[in-house]
């Protein structure tokens, strides 16, 4: 997925004081989207990120002044800013006006949405596929928006379980469907490269809401579709 030039606040050095972001600060997100440090108002601290990267180099016994490493702190800063850009994005801005009233009350499922995130325990990537489905109550979202919604939450420090839940709750809030299902299958570099070194293991998490959770047939259909390898 290409890097999205979605609103990244504070790159001009402003410190996110209330009211300085016009439209964004006016958007009221449901409280549950604020359950982790939101960053909606917090600009990334460039100097701190670069100092931290330099500290890492020194910590592993490297020489930050040698040729190959001279620009590493600034590269790490830019990379971390991009990988955590979701803190400064609002799902409602991403969806914009791509909400449509359609006479349709069946399952909408987008499968195999590629995503990349960072595990908050080790700051190492985890990545894989997400499947997002909902039962419309007459309102649908432009299909291309679902991958971008996932990125809003994936580009933060995460655990897979919370990522799954946040995407599901976000779809619920935006579309008010009768049911939502989100399944995420991911490989975690912190497991693959270190620790237990289980290179083949894939972690599967799911959050089911409303009719997809409560209606047995619906639930079975959704889970079967996210499992099939067709």
As annotated, the active-site residues are: 119-122, 160, 188, 190
Please say which residue, 122 or 213, places its beta carbon nearer to Zn ion.
Answer: 122
Contact 9, 41 (CB under 8 A): yes
Chain position whose Cβ is nearest to Zn ion: 190
Contact 144, 104 (CB under 8 A): no
Mark 139-178 with x for binding to Zn ion (rule: CB under 5 A) and - for no binding: ----------------------------------------
Q: Name the packing angle between helices 160-175 and 145-154 (round to 10°).
A: 140
User: Which of 32, 34, 75, 121 is in the footprint of Zn ion by CB under 5 A?
Assistant: 121
CB atoms within 10 A of CB 195: 10
Sequence-ordered list of residues with C-beta below 8 angstroms from that of 138, at least 6 positions apart, any chain: 101, 102, 103, 104, 105
Interface segment toward Zn ion; rule CB under 5 A; list 14-22, 45-53, 122-130, 218-226: 122-130
- Tokens of residue 8, six digits: 């990244």
Does residue 119 bind Zn ion (CB under 5 A)? yes
Please say which residue, 190 or 225, places its beta carbon nearer to Zn ion.
Answer: 190
Among residues 116, 128, 41, 44, the alpha carbon closest in space to that of 80 is found at 44
Interface segment toward Zn ion; rule CB under 5 A; list 17-25, 35-43, 93-101, 119-127: 119-127
Does residue 122 bind Zn ion (CB under 5 A)? yes
Q: Name the residue with tokens 């991958």.
A: 147
Residues 167-226 that bind Zn ion (CB under 5 A): 190
Residues at the interface with Zn ion (CB under 5 A): 119, 121-122, 190
């Amino acid at each position: 997925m290409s890097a999205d030039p979605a609103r990244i606040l504070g790159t001009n050095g402003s410190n996110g004081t209330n009211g300085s972001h016009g439209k964004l600060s006016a958007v009221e997100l449901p409280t549950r989207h604020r359950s982790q440090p939101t960053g909606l108002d917090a600009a990334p601290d460039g100097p701190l990120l670069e100092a931290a990267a330099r500290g890492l180099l020194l910590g592993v016994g490297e020489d930050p002044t040698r040729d190959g490493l001279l620009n590493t702190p600034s590269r790490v800063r830019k990379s971390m800013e991009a990988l955590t850009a979701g803190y400064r994005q609002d799902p409602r801005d991403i969806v914009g006006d791509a909400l449509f009233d359609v006479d349709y009350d069946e399952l909408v499922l987008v499968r195999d949405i590629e995503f990349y995130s960072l595990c908050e325990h080790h700051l190492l990537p985890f990545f894989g596929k997400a499947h997002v489905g909902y039962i419309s109550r007459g309102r649908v979202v432009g299909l291309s928006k679902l991958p971008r919604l996932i990125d809003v939450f994936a580009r933060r420090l995460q655990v897979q379980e919370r990522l799954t839940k946040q995407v599901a709750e976000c779809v619920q809030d935006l579309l008010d469907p009768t049911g939502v299902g989100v399944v995420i299958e991911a490989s975690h570099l912190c497991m693959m490269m270190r620790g237990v070194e289980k290179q083949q293991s894939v972690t599967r998490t799911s959050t089911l809401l409303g009719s997809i959770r409560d209606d047995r047939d619906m639930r079975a259909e959704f889970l079967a579709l996210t499992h099939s390898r067709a």
